[in-house]
């Protein structure tokens, strides 16, 4: 397949950038299906978790009560109804117990 330079529009800043034939060949060799969405200037911002207009996922901190010890804690997800939620100490304790019972 023959590749030709393409002009694309950055979804972050709206500027146009060139997707070169060499880059297209590299993408094809790696099996990438999608063209790049950001220019070279905006790409590092995205990689560092910079402020984006793309609606990227943000970390959710939820206050809840530990199902084992009853202590108030914060978890990095929204708990699912009907499933237990543990504080860090109880979670690590349960993980350690699970590891020892799995090897026994």
pLDDT tens per residue, the chain (104 residues)?
789 999 999 998 999 999 999 999 999 999 999 999 999 888 888 766 655 444 555 677 889 999 999 999 998 888 888 899 999 999 999 999 886 765 65
Please, where are the H alpha helices in 1-104? 21-30, 43-47, 88-103
Q: Are 20 and 36 in contact (CB under 8 A)?
A: no
CA angle (51, 60, 44) in 5-degree steps? 25
> Which string of b and e fits 45-80 if b means at least 16 CB within 10 Å?
ebeeeeeeeeeeeeeeeeeeebeeeeeebebeeeee
pTM over 0.75: no
pLDDT for res 103? 61
Q: What is the pLDDT of residue 97?
A: 87
What confidence score (pLDDT) does residue 23 get?
94
Phi-psi region of 75 (alpha: psi -120 to 50; beta: other; left: phi over 0): beta
d(CA 58, CA 46) in angstroms, rounded, equals 13
């Amino acid at each position: 397949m023959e590749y030709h330079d393409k002009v694309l529009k950055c979804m972050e800043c709206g500027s146009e950038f060139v997707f070169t034939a060499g880059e297209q060949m590299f993408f094809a060799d790696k099996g990438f299906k999608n063209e790049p969405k950001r220019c070279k200037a905006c790409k590092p911002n995205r990689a560092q978790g910079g402020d984006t207009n793309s609606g990227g996922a943000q970390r959710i901190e939820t206050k809840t009560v530990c199902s084992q010890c009853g202590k108030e804690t914060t978890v990095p997800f929204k708990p699912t109804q009907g499933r237990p939620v543990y504080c860090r100490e109880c979670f690590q304790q349960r993980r350690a117990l699970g590891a020892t019972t799995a090897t026994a």
